[in-house]
Amino acid sequence: MEYILAKYNYWIYILLMMIGLYAMIAKNNLVKKVIGMSIFQTAIIVFYVSIGAKRGASIPIIAHGHGHDVIATAVSAAEYANPLPHVLMLTAIVVSVGTLGVALAVCLAIYRRYNSLEEDEILEQLR
Amino acid sequence: MHPPFPTATPLLAICSSLVAVPLIALSGKKPNLREFWTLLAGAIKFCLVISMAGWILAGNTHTFELWQFLPGLSIKLTVDGFGMLFALVASSLWILTSVYSIGYMRGLNEHAQTRYFCFFALSLSATIGVAFSGNLLTLYLFYELLSLSTYPLVTHHQDTEARGGGRKYLAYLLSTSIGLALPAMLVTYSLAGTLDFNVLGIFPEATAKSTLLVLLVMFIYGFAKAGVMPFHSWLPGAMVAPTPVSALLHAVAVVKVGVFSIGRILTGIFGINLLAAQNLNTVVCVIAGFTVIVSSLIALSQDNLKRRLAFSTVGQLSYIILGIGLASILGVQGGMLHIAMHAFGKITLFFCAGAIFVATGKKYISEMVGIGRRMPYTMFAFFLGSLSVIGLPPAGGLISKFLMVRGALQADLWWVLVIYLVSSFLNAAYFLPIVYKAFFCSEEEALFEKKVDEAPMCCVLPLTITAGISIGLFFYPNLFYSLAQIAIAMP
Amino acid sequence: MIASEQAVALMVVLPLLSALVINMAGWFDRRLCFPIALFALLGSCCSAFITVSRVIKSGVIHYRLGGWAPPMGIEYVVDHLNALVLVIIFVVSLLALLFSYKSIQVELPEKILQFYTLYLLLVAGLAGMTITGDAFNLYVLMEISALTSYALIALGDKRALVASFNYIILGTIGASLYLLGVGHLYIMTGSLNMADLQTILPALLDARAIAVAFVLVMGGVWVKMAFFPMHGWLPNAYSYAPSSTSCLVAPLMTKVSVYIMIRMMFSVFNPNYIFVYLDWGRLVVPLATVAIIFGSISALAQKDLRKMLTYIIVAEVGYMVGGAWLANVTGLTGAIYHILADAMMTLCLFMVVGAIIYKLKDSSMDSMEFIFRRMPVTSVVFVIGAFAMIGIPPTCGFFSKWYLISGAIETSQWHYIFALLFSSLVNAFVFFRLFEIGFFGKKPADGHDHHAPEIAVSEAPVTMLVPMVLTALSLIAIGIYTNEIVTVLITKTLPVGL
Amino acid sequence: MIWQLDLLILSLIVLCALATISVKDLFSAAIIFGAYSFLMCLLWTEMGAVDVAFTEASVGAGVSTVLFVAAVFRTTRKVKDRGVKRYWTKGVGLLAATSVGGVLIAAVGDFPGFADPLSPASTHLSPYFITNTLTDTAVPNIVTSVLADYRGYDTMFETAVIFAAGLAVIAILRRSKTGVQHESREKVILSEGYEDTIIRLVARKMVPFMQLFALYVLAHGHHSPGGGFQGGVILGASFILIAISYDMKMLLGRMSEKWNVLLGNIGVLVYAGIGFVCLLLGANFLDYSILHRILPATDEIMARSHGMLGIETGVAIAVSAIVVSLYVNIASQGKHDKGL
């Protein structure tokens, strides 16, 4: 029980990932696939951000630190959350919105040509 | 004492016809100029080869490393007795075949003659390359080049039959070389660490007999140009090619390259000591002996002259493999010598078949009754050629067969002797009736609608010469014989 | 000298900057796009060659981006292996660019601007993937190359959109799996720098999470390289794309992915872990065998030239994966050499098909009819490319097979040898069928001395012929210089402990 | 961190995810997906990842939702249910999902406990960033300093990704110019039916504040959550608001397609250009400290800070322009005639 509770974030991210992956592969509607893709990507973000969490730490912005003249006060690493996963995930979010845009554009172009968003109908027209 | 050996001569000998390819291609509009290039390249090639012969006969070998492809493995040219023997045969016959081709192609007004001569020159380069290969990789390279450059020659007519023959040709040759010879070569390399030919064999002593056996079988079948059954059927199929192609490529270049390769592998990769010691020579003899007998029997039943010649070739090739496979000194010498003897004899026969076709348009033996009166020179040459192939005096074939028989005795393989005798009898049985019908049966006029005369000069001259050489080799076999002796002289 | 030190950075920066410049200049005059792209790639090419010579002379180059020491900052690491891959990337992209000059004017006259911008971004992404020493940075660059290739493929004919959509879905799965794998590495080690990871990982051998990280990274990369059974997206995507896109994408994308697989296997994990501790070579090599056989048989069944080539790519990916997983030096050498060889072979054949499409507006096998008379230069190039694919010496295809088979012999993986030989034979069959159509026409001629119908020579434009001929020559040159390439570049990169 | 709250949000997220992939109406799916993103945003704030939360709020919940809605609006809302025929695909999907899930579950056992301060991730690299950000770069927001400087190379390509996406959407969707003019002449005011004075008034009044806030987020990114991305997205959102409340012509009148792409281009160019200037000055690519040679009254550390501001500005320009361009093209199917 403790094993499950201590890592609940990780269990949830796996669940989200499975939902997203299932939607990407099994859904017939293209927009649904794209939604699955977004869920899949956010699941990874959950994972990374969970890595960055630190018990008893504050947000990764150094308090009262304006300019490098006042750095006499030593900064303790334990006080602040791990910033690296946050940075990585900023990048990942932006990348995912880029992918989302392109995927939706392709969906629209497909709809314009085949007048359908259902995969099987499109494949039938291609045949 | 000979002058120092020019290093690059073997390379030049290979390249002389390669250089001719673009020249031939560019002068396609002017047939005379084109044929001049062909003949010039042939003459240069022959001179280059013969210039090395003295040096080789003095007991030297020459190795020339051209390019290192892989670590410890290079493109390497070696001139030794065996290679020299083969190169001499191939380059001398090329000149004759070129003359003959000119007569044949012009006589029949064939299409795409430029393409024909281009690939003809290319395939000769590959043949000489095989002859001078210093290691198995180089040999394989030229072997593949030969398969590819002869494909357009085989499919020359471009009709359904030619295309079928061409497909079969490539399918057999490529699939065996890629599927059997290449992996066998790689396994050999990983076992021995080298692929350079060495009369002592290159395998380490610890190699298991079963491995050797598998490799041996893969090599023999892998070089399918040698026509060992059951990978022989491309050869009759490829008879759709124009006759000069059949003559040169299926009496000399292609098939002899296959046999030469197997000979090289038996003597240079395995080494005859190993073959004899491990009793592997029996395996070779069984495989080759089977082909000898079966192909001779098939040849008996063929009516198409070229097909009969083709099956005869299949049998004779295995003769050579049988000789080398005996793994006794005399047997190997006989096998090597038979490459030359059979080449001159068989090319005469093919030339004759072509000449008959040019003059009369006949392909079938049953239609050639009494033709000897019309084409006496041709049919007499045919007679001499068949004597050589059967191994009767006064033709060169006798000497090589005699050596091989002695080799069988030397190797203590009595049953091989039986194969030789039976097959010689069969050879006689499928050749001599043709000659008999041509000369001694009453002429049936109905078979020849119009007046038939000899084929053009260009066709008759080469076949007369080769027939003459076949006989001449009976009396003066020394050149080839001493080359063969040098080739197998154990250090 | 500064210029040669900065050449490392310029390789990636030049295509990126020039992509932006092209986009700006192109809004004013479209004719500016091509020359800018050409100069940028020429510059990158020169930088790549300078870098290679530096690597050969003085060993591995580290370049700190932003001046930060790794593992804090991101660094470029150029060793012999990725120097080779970088040269491949820039040479191929330069040749493909030259090739695209005419074909793009016919196929996508309205999208020239976007095409060249995306093209250079793609090149920048591929080069960045190859050069980076940071596992996460690799993901970002993987996405940029993926995103641009989605778009470039979607510009193709009417079926390209659906193919591109499938590619987006599967490409995203692949990249995400990779990212997840990097996440697992990060949670276990706290580091993202490849060299740093390699020093930390041996202490964590027993952790199951590390094995999972390895599976995820490999899974992601395999999806990206279309390794069987994750190959489904590739054939359609590459065969419906505009021909100038497929000339760039087909030779490079899978090859760079293979390179990344090798890099992850040996520069992040180590051979001891993969082959001794996990011992998964026994699982992957049979899969590679299946990939090769499947790819070859599918290629045999195709009627369309490009479709056929794409299935050959699927088989070739099997070659390289199998070679890398043979767990010996020879096999890995073969796999790396095959990256080079296959990139050039694929480029060669795709350009030939591109030229045929340009001239005849058709890529079915029937379009090859009398091609030898119609487009003699193109068909000679085609013959050389086909020989390389079949593996006929002295083209480079023979030598990669040589190494791969030797490597398999050393480990007695006979099924893999069989698959390689089988695919060579199938390639031979496939290409000779085309030669026959190209040489003699579809239907056999009847009669003895017929003369084929008169067909005027109508060759592709010079801007297509030049890169094609250069590529064909390079196939032979690479084959002839095998020994040099292997000893100077490849053997230097082989990981210790193999 | 309150684990009860955490758990509550996580379960809501899973519910939303399930709902969004199972509803039959795509419009609902898009809206539920928006809710999903907002919940994510909450979760991350709660976990201390404020910058990620900010980005998710603006990018994930904001722009993504708008794009989804626009796409659905342009195509169809209905999802046809063909459950019967698709057993095979569903089987593959289930198989893939469970196998990947199984592999992932196998790994979790080895993970350090959630939020463990002694985990490798918290002890290996991050302490360096936390303790040295002020001495190295004089930027108190560690996320900003890592994003824009320590890992500035990542961020440059991230901007390039966005730029590439914008360009890709144009390449895929945009139709020829002649066609556009032709169609827009026919339908002059297309959003007539949606005309609503209150909305327009509120929107018009909001836009300047949004833009001001965007500039604040950008400029203050060194000291508080935010930065180029967030600022850029908000700036872009203000333009999208105009397009939604009025019509696309009004937006395009203020910011033509050409300028849009050019701005996106310039943004990335500012970023890469600053990096390139560093290279020209003799330092490594993106090594801003060298900029102190050309910037007045700065030492090497402040040069890094200023360099970051420069590239963040570039990012903001690029992101805002590309977000608008994404919206314009997707909402109008590349015809640039009408929006939502």
Residues in chain A within 8 Å Cβ distance of D13: 12, 16
CB contact under 8 A, D165 and A99: yes
pLDDT in tens, D24-70: 888 999 999 999 999 999 988 888 888 899 999 988 888 899 999 98
pLDDT at D183: 44
Cα–Cα distance list, C353 to B257, C221, C243, D316 (Å) = 36, 28, 8, 43
Burial of D35 (0-12, 13-18, 19+ CB in 10 A): middle
Residues in chain C within 8 Å Cβ distance of D169: 151
| Average pLDDT for chain B | 81
Q: Using CB atoms, which residue from D104, D163, D284 is nearest to C64?
A: D284
CB contact under 8 A, B163 and C436: yes
Counted residue by residue, chain D has a size of: 340
Does the ipTM exceed 0.90? no
pLDDT over 60 at D177, yes or no: no
Name the pLDDT band for C296 (thresholds 50, 70, 90): very high
Name the pLDDT band for A1 (thresholds 50, 70, 90): low
CA of D198, closest CA in chain A: separation in Å?
A: 31
pLDDT at D315: 92
Name the CA radius of gyration of chain B, rounded. Answer: 21
Domain residue spans in chain D?
142-340
pLDDT at C451: 52
pLDDT at D114: 80
Q: What is the mean pLDDT of residues C12-38?
A: 88
Where is mean pLDDT largest: B301-315, C49-63, D238-252, D288-302? C49-63
Structure tokens at D89: 């695909």
Burial of B300 (0-12, 13-18, 19+ CB in 10 A): middle
| Average pLDDT for chain C | 88
Name the pLDDT band for D185 (thresholds 50, 70, 90): very low
Domain residue spans in chain B?
9-488
Minimum mean pLDDT range among C289-298, D8-17, D202-211, D331-340? D331-340
pLDDT at C448: 46
What one-character DSSP code corresponds to residue B213? H
pLDDT at D180: 43
pLDDT over 50 at B453, yes or no: yes
Q: What is the mean pLDDT of residues C113-130?
A: 92
The verdict on C229 touching D (C-beta cutoff 8 Å) is no
pLDDT in tens, C67-118: 888 888 899 999 888 899 999 999 999 999 999 988 888 888 888 888 999 9
Q: What is the mean pLDDT of residues D164-176?
A: 85
CA angle B259, B260, B262 (to 5 degrees): 65
Structure tokens at B65: 């490393």
CB contact under 8 A, C482 and B70: yes
Give backbone dihedrals phi and psi of B135, rounded to 5 degrees, phi first: -145, 175
pLDDT at D283: 85
Name the pLDDT band for D181 (thresholds 50, 70, 90): very low
Distance of CA C156 to the CA centre of its chain: 20
| Average pLDDT for chain D | 84
pLDDT over 60 at D184, yes or no: no
Output D172 or B66, whichever has higher pLDDT. D172
pLDDT over 70 at D190, yes or no: no
Please identify among residues 159-178 of chain C the ones whose CB lies closer than 8 Å to any CB of chain D.
161, 177
Where is mean pLDDT largest: C201-215, D79-93, D175-189? C201-215
pLDDT at C125: 93
* C-beta separation of D340 from D70 below 8 A: yes
Output B333 or C168, whichever has higher pLDDT. C168
pLDDT at C2: 61
* C-beta separation of A38 from D40 below 8 A: no
Where is mean pLDDT largest: A18-22, B344-348, C203-207? A18-22
The verdict on D59 touching A (C-beta cutoff 8 Å) is yes
Q: How many CB atoms lie within 10 A of CB C410?
A: 15
Minimum mean pLDDT range among A96-100, B3-7, C316-320? B3-7
CA of A3, closest CA in chain D: separation in Å?
A: 8
pLDDT at C490: 82
A2-56+71-126 fold: Helix Hairpins (1.10.287)
pLDDT at B97: 82
Distance of CA B56 to the CA centre of its chain: 21
pLDDT at D191: 47
CA of B51, closest CA in chain C: separation in Å?
A: 29
pLDDT at D186: 42
Name the pLDDT band for B1 (thresholds 50, 70, 90): very low
Minimum mean pLDDT range among B69-83, C239-253, C351-365? B69-83
Minimum mean pLDDT range among A42-56, B299-313, B445-459, C242-256? B445-459
Minimum mean pLDDT range among B237-246, C199-208, C241-250? B237-246
pLDDT over 50 at B135, yes or no: yes
CA distance B146 to B250: 12
Strand, coil or helix: C134: strand
Determine which of A14, A33, A84, A106 to mutate to test the interface with C (most C C-beta atoms within 10 Å): A106
CB contact under 8 A, D18 and A104: no
* C-beta separation of C489 from C87 below 8 A: no
CA angle D199, D204, D205 (to 5 degrees): 105
CA angle B130, B136, B138 (to 5 degrees): 50
Please identify among residues 30-59 of chain A the ones whose CB lies closer than 8 Å to any CB of chain D.
31-32, 34-36, 38-39, 42, 45-46, 49-59
What one-character DSSP code corresponds to residue A74? P
* C-beta separation of C252 from C142 below 8 A: no
Q: What is the mean pLDDT of residues B21-36?
A: 79
Burial of A64 (0-12, 13-18, 19+ CB in 10 A): exposed
Q: What is the mean pLDDT of residues B279-302?
A: 86
CB contact under 8 A, A99 and C147: yes
Domain residue spans in chain A?
2-56+71-126
pLDDT at D179: 44
Strand, coil or helix: C357: helix
Q: What is the mean pLDDT of residues D158-169?
A: 91
Name the pLDDT band for B356 (thresholds 50, 70, 90): confident
pLDDT at D182: 42
Q: Using CB atoms, which residue from C158, C176, C180 is nearest to A113?
A: C158
CA of D206, closest CA in chain C: separation in Å?
A: 32
pLDDT over 60 at C342, yes or no: yes
CB contact under 8 A, A98 and C143: yes
pLDDT over 90 at C176, yes or no: yes
